[in-house]
Amino acid sequence: MLVVMSGARALMEALKREKVKVVFGIPGGANLPIYDELLNHDVRHVLARHEQCAAHMADGYARASGWAGVCFATSGPGTTNLVTGIANAYMDSSPVIAVTGQVSRPFIGRDAFQETDAIGITAPITKHNIQPSKASEIPLAIRTAFYVATTGRPGPVLIDIPKDVQTEVEEVEFPEKVKIRGYTPYPPIDPQLVHQAVALIANSRKPVILAGGGVKYSNASKGLLELSETLMAPVATSFMGKGAFPEDHPLSIGIVGMHGNPVANKLVQEADLLIGVGFRFSDRTTGKVGEFCSDAKLIHIDIDEAEIGKNKRVDAAIVGDAGEALSMMLKQIREGGFKASEDWGRRLEEVKSQLQAEEEGEGGLKPPAVIKEMRRLLPRNAIVTTEVGQNQMWASLHFKAYMPRTFISSGGLGTMGFGFPAAIGAKVAVPEVPVVDIAGDGSFAMTENSLATSVAENIPVIVVILNNRMLGMVAQWQRLFYDRRYSAVKLDKPDFVKLAEAYGAQGLRPQSLEEFREAFKKALKCDVTTVIDVPIDPEEDVMPMIPPGGGLKDMIEVA
Amino acid sequence: MDDISVIAALVEHKPGVLFKVSNLFRRRGFNIENITVGPIETSDLARMTITVKGDEATRDQVVKQLRKLIEVVHVEVLKPESLVQRELALIKVKVDSPETRREIMDYTSIFRGRVVDVSPESMIVEITGTPDKMDAFINLMLKYGIIEIARTGVTALTRGKASITTSYPLMLELGE
């Protein structure tokens, strides 16, 4: 049905059809018509204080909710400020929809005020981008954007709308379905390939499953659990896969990689078969990729065929949805009858108990103890986001995630400043559960202005800063690999308690683990954003780690 | 190891698509030998013929990464054993004597080329063929002195009835 309306109105109507209830953004010259139209609609707008934060909020919203997150920005600097957030979403396959204003059509290409080539800049960091050239093209552009962003391997999509297209009044039509001839989000799985994979499983004695972010995106955690229990195979996750498998399950061995769990790093090396599901052989997961599982057979399941063989040659590959692939495999395995090796189960027990014994005796205000304390105080479904750096790796090692979408972190791009705005986005998506940003002082300082958003918009989250007054991870590398020559890593400012208070948030500074426990309980009960500034030893390293360029066997367990 | 592969792609015939394709190659570090583009008269698609240098793994990645672009509708690696490849070049050669002119005209006719422009000091020769043939002709011209060359890059089709334009609708049905 054709209706006459402006481009801005068509945009808002189209967003409502995509069930958009909240938008994170900042107005500016080139998206004023959209912001004016916003007043006529029942869509919540969360005002960010920097476009990068708006994009991270949309990203956090998407990862927590399982639906797309939307952000708005104006042209030029608004768009370029979004770039980090979009690239972050792209690297972690998060469905973020960015709607940017553009200068009016007659000005495009003339270096007009606040003009930038949004399509050119974002082409390499989006799954798709579109610049509607008429108001009537907007509904299809939005329909396409959501379809592309949320299906197959998810990813960000940018829609760049010239200002005069926003005000142009035209007959528009809202399409129900979108058909894109160059896009097949769910390629049909070839049963022959499943058969090949199952044959490898049948011949294995020491299988390990490695689950990645794709398991979460395809809601395949149940199939993963069934497969691991059927094979009695230990399950490691990539960093992005954390939460895809409950980390308190007897078969869970934690994350693998540069700062992986020693159990995972050991058993992955000993495996004779690695079943990789929805992960991409990222260098942070594999270490030196040539050495990664070099004696094992490899099965790779991924929805993105370009990931097959991109970084590592594999013995069997299944292109398709993880959940579907897992159920097809399970069916064949059950029909064939697989007998798990008891020796392998015993080896898992042995490595796990060895490591548990080594872990005893931690106390004081040390990062692992603080994080474990948080886990004890939080419900199972609480959401944790992290900043980037040491805090992130401590969180990933010591915070056990029990369900998908509860551990949200910047894996691929490693964007400092991600955690706090992402926490705000996650809290908007799932307001009923506590959301905590495990932060470092350097990273939090990059987007601390989101405190204004958090307080003004009444989105209470908890920020726990593991404050070593350092760019901690850089300092750790300088300590370990540059002979302790510290270059540009000392921070020491600001006073985060005063900073929090300046924004109208609550600031607390515990001096012991007991005080931290009380502070955290207070924060959980409180309905305002709370920043808990935890002073920690600047010399503290994240261990274990694999030195840069090394393989899993080069893991250093103690500095 | 470094083989030449010829890849044909059907893409949306819209502004910016060539940029997205070429930018993909740059970003992923693939080495394009050449790329030719032209609209398909019978549809709203354009056909790109892309020649890539690299081993099999590189070629596979090129194809897979191309397929990921929403604007790329269909991609095929053309079978080298049944490939018809053509390139067109315009070559402007220095001419300093009637003998030289005669020689160049002879070579041109041996290569089934055409002389398309003559001036007192130069000639332009149009030549069509496989990249090898073009190179051979250009080598012959070097001794006379080449003033300028414009080469189109390779365009290619596979022999026989098969066609990527007809196999594309089949792909669509599979995808649905």
ipTM confidence:
0.90
* Average pLDDT in chain A: 95
- Other residues' Cβ atoms within 10 Å of the Cβ of residue B140: 16
CA atoms within 13 A on the CB side of A225: 16
Task: Tell whether the model's pLDDT for residue A361 goes beyond 90.
Answer: no
CB A140 within 8 Å of CB A175: yes
Could you say which of A123, A127, A148 has the minimum Cβ distance to residue B23?
A123
In sequence order, which ranges of chain B are alpha helices (DSSP H)?
17-28, 56-68, 98-110, 131-142, 164-175
Q: Does A134 touch chain B (CB under 8 A)?
A: no
Contact A306 B24 (CB under 8 A): no
Best to test chain B binding among A102, A181, A311 (most B CBs inside 10 Å)? A181
CA distance linking residue A329 with residue A343, whole number of Å = 24
Task: Tell whether the model's pLDDT for residue A549 goes beyond 90.
Answer: no
In sequence order, which ranges of A271-363 are alpha helices (DSSP H)?
283-286, 322-336, 342-359
CA distance linking residue A531 with residue B30, whole number of Å = 47
Contact B68 A123 (CB under 8 A): no
Q: Which residue of A has its CA nearest to B72?
A: A182
* Residues of A assigned a catalytic role: 51, 113-114, 163, 473
**Which residues, numbered 33 to 92 in chain A, qualify as contacts with chain B under a Cβ-Cβ cut-off of 8 Å?**
none
pLDDT for the residue A338: 81
Contact B27 A124 (CB under 8 A): yes
Q: How far is CA B157 from CA A540, B8, B82, in A?
A: 63, 8, 9
Encoding tokens for residue A329?
Answer: 């495999």
DSSP tally for chain A: helices H, then strands E: 22, 20
Residue B145 sits at the vertex; the CA angle it makes with B141 and B146, to the nearest 5 degrees, is 75
Task: Tell whether the model's pLDDT for residue B30 goes beyond 80.
Answer: yes
Could you say which of B27, B64, B72 has the minimum Cβ distance to residue A182?
B72
Could you say which of A182, A304, A313 has the minimum Cβ distance to residue B12?
A182
CA distance linking residue A333 with residue A277, whole number of Å = 16
Query: Shortest Cα distance from B161 to chain A (angstroms)?
Result: 23
Contact B69 A304 (CB under 8 A): no
Across residues B26-45, what is the average pLDDT?
Answer: 88
Per residue, the 3-state secondary structure of A193-233, as one string, reads HHHHHHHHHHCCCCEEEEECHHHHHCCCHHHHHHHHHHHCC
Across residues A371-379, what is the average pLDDT?
Answer: 97
**DSSP readout, A14-52?**
HHHHTT--EEEE---GGGHHHHHHHTTS--EEEE-SSHH
**Which residues, numbered 146 to 185 in chain A, qualify as contacts with chain B under a Cβ-Cβ cut-off of 8 Å?**
148, 180-184
pLDDT for the residue A364: 84
CA distance linking residue A238 with residue A284, whole number of Å = 9
Across residues A527-540, what is the average pLDDT?
Answer: 96
In which region does residue A478 sit, left (phi positive, over 0), alpha (psi from -120 to 50) or beta (all else)?
Answer: alpha
* Side chain identity, residue A419: G
Could you say which of B24, B70, B175 has the minimum Cβ distance to residue A128?
B70
CA distance linking residue B14 with residue A132, whole number of Å = 12
A71-84 pLDDT, tens digit each: 999 999 999 999 99
Instruction: Work out the end-to-end distance of chain B between its first and last CA atoms, rounded to an integer number of angstroms.
Output: 37
pLDDT for the residue A359: 66
Instruction: Work out the end-to-end distance of chain A between its first and last CA atoms, rounded to an integer number of angstroms.
Output: 68
pLDDT for the residue B174: 45
Query: Shortest Cα distance from A179 to chain B (angstroms)?
Result: 9
CA distance linking residue A87 with residue A108, whole number of Å = 24
Task: Tell whether the model's pLDDT for residue B168 goes beyond 80.
Answer: no
Q: Which residue of A has its CA nearest to B27?
A: A124
Element (H or E) spanning A253, and its range?
Answer: strand A252-255
Residues of B in contact with A185 (CB under 8 A): none
pLDDT for the residue B63: 95
DSSP structure class, residue A431: T
A254-307 pLDDT, tens digit each: 999 988 999 999 999 999 999 999 999 999 888 888 889 888 999 999 999 999
Q: Which residue of B has its CA nearest to A312?
A: B57
Task: Tell whether the model's pLDDT for residue A557 goes beyond 90.
Answer: no
CA-wise closest residue to A387 among A413, A409, A407: A409
A224-233 pLDDT, tens digit each: 999 999 999 9
Could you say which of A119, A127, A306 has the minimum Cβ distance to residue B65?
A306
CB B7 within 8 Å of CB B155: no
* Side chain identity, residue B59: R
Could you say which of B16, B172, B174 has the minimum Cβ distance to residue A119?
B16
pLDDT for the residue B176: 36
**Which residues, numbered 137 to 166 in chain B, qualify as contacts with chain A under a Cβ-Cβ cut-off of 8 Å?**
none
Q: Is A377 helix (H, G, I), strand (E, B) or coil?
A: helix
Q: Is B4 helix (H, G, I), strand (E, B) or coil?
A: strand
Q: Does B172 touch chain A (CB under 8 A)?
A: yes
Residues 6+ apart with CB under 8 A from B13: B39, B40, B44, B45, B46
Q: What is the pTM of this model?
A: 0.94
Task: Tell whether the model's pLDDT for residue A360 goes beyond 80.
Answer: no
Encoding tokens for residue B38?
Answer: 């032209």
CB pairs under 8 A, 24+ apart, for A81-85?
A: A81/A50, A81/A51, A81/A52, A82/A51, A82/A52, A82/A54, A82/A55, A83/A121, A83/A122, A83/A125, A84/A52, A84/A55, A84/A413, A84/A415, A85/A51, A85/A52, A85/A53, A85/A54, A85/A55, A85/A56, A85/A58, A85/A59, A85/A415
Q: Which residue of B has its CA nearest to A145?
A: B70
CA distance linking residue A547 with residue A477, whole number of Å = 9
CB A238 within 8 Å of CB A93: no
* Side chain identity, residue A324: E
CA distance linking residue B48 with residue B156, whole number of Å = 10
CA distance linking residue A300 with residue A140, whole number of Å = 35
Annotate A221-231 with b (16+ C-beta within 10 A) or e (fewer): bebbbbbbeeb
**Which residues, numbered 41 to 60 in chain B, qualify as contacts with chain A under a Cβ-Cβ cut-off of 8 Å?**
57, 60
Contact A181 B20 (CB under 8 A): no
pLDDT for the residue A337: 79
pLDDT for the residue A62: 98
Choice among A347-351, A425-429, B110-114, B160-164 with the minimum mean pLDDT = B160-164
Task: Tell whether the model's pLDDT for residue B126 goes beyond 80.
Answer: yes
Choice among A317-321, A411-415, B152-156, B159-163 with the minimum mean pLDDT = B159-163
Task: Tell whether the model's pLDDT for residue B1 goes beyond 80.
Answer: no
Sheet containing strand A69-73, edge to edge, reads A44-47, A22-25, A69-73, A96-102, A157-162, A128-130
Q: Does A120 touch chain B (CB under 8 A)?
A: yes
Instruction: Please give the interface size between A and B, counted as residue pairs whose CB atoms are below 8 Å apart.
Output: 41
**DSSP readout, A90-127?**
HHTT--EEEEEEE--GGGTTTT-TT---HHHHHGGGSS
- Cα torsion A54, A58, A64, A68 to 10°: value is 180
Q: Which residue of A has its CA nearest to B67?
A: A182
CA distance linking residue A470 with residue A488, whole number of Å = 9
Q: Does A304 touch chain B (CB under 8 A)?
A: yes
Best to test chain A binding among B11, B17, B64 (most A CBs inside 10 Å)? B64
Across residues A238-260, what is the average pLDDT?
Answer: 95
pLDDT for the residue A1: 80
- Cα torsion A235, A239, A241, A243 to 10°: value is 80
A54-109 pLDDT, tens digit each: 999 999 999 999 999 999 999 999 999 999 999 999 999 999 999 999 999 999 99
Split at pLDDT 50, 70, 90, the class of A452 is very high
CB B17 within 8 Å of CB A182: no
Q: Does B18 touch chain A (CB under 8 A)?
A: no
